[in-house]
Structure formats: structure tokens, C-alpha cells
Amino acid sequence: DTGVSQDPRHKITKRGQNVTFRCDPISEHNRLYWYRQTLGQGPEFLTYFQNEAQLEKSRLLSDRFSAERPKGSFSTLEIQRTEQGDSAMYLCASSLSVGVGDTQYFGPGTRLTVL
């Protein structure tokens, strides 16, 4: 399967713990996005990379959140000192930039539950 993969698929943690998620994009894709989706809502944009450069961060991304994409390949999203409000599905998407409207392909997501 050459789609976007995410690991782990599920994570249960206690409040105050740190968690890290990984996303492996489609291999030739230079753009990588993180979104967060809560139950019954559409995904909300968190941050975006073009190659290894993080070009935009949403105001939703508090300073407890950090994302990296070393060498422009896989990406990690870390949440420090988790809170119950962080419970959500974290989705990664990748695309190949073709100008306007490049298709974003989503991974299966990592479901985070903070107890």
C-alpha cells in the first residue's frame, strides 16, 4: 500500500503525559498537512509543511503542540502535557504541489484519548 500511513492508530494516555504521532506521506509528495477532527465535526487545519519547512500554523496549535518534518519525508506531531480537550482524531494528509488545488490524500488518522 503506497498511501499515507499513520502510527499509532490509537493512543490512550493520561492527562499530563506527552504523546508523539508519526505520519509517512506518499513518497513523492512534497506537501504535508496535519488536521484535527473531533466527533461529529469536519477536520480542522493545524499545520502545513512544504518539504522540511513548516510554513503555516493554525491558532489552534498551542505551544504544547510541535510538529517536525526532518529531511522533508515523514512528520511527527508531539503534544506535551496532554489535556482532555486534546482528545480527537489527528489526521495527516499529503499532496504533490501542482499550484492551486492540489489533491490532499489523507491517512487513516490517530485517535487520541486523554483520560
Rounded Cα–Cα distance for residues 83 and 72 (Å): 29
Residues 6+ positions from 4 with CB-CB distance below 8 Å: 23, 24, 25, 26, 92, 93, 94, 105, 106, 107
Stretch that binds other proteins, among 12-20, 28-36, 61-69, 73-81 (CB under 8 A): 28-36
68 near other proteins (CB under 8 A): no
48 near other proteins (CB under 8 A): yes
Stretch that binds other proteins, among 14-22, 52-60, 61-69, 72-80 (CB under 8 A): 52-60
Binding residue for other proteins, selected from 61, 79, 91, 112, defined by CB under 8 A: 91
Least separation in angstroms between residue 70's CB and other proteins is 20
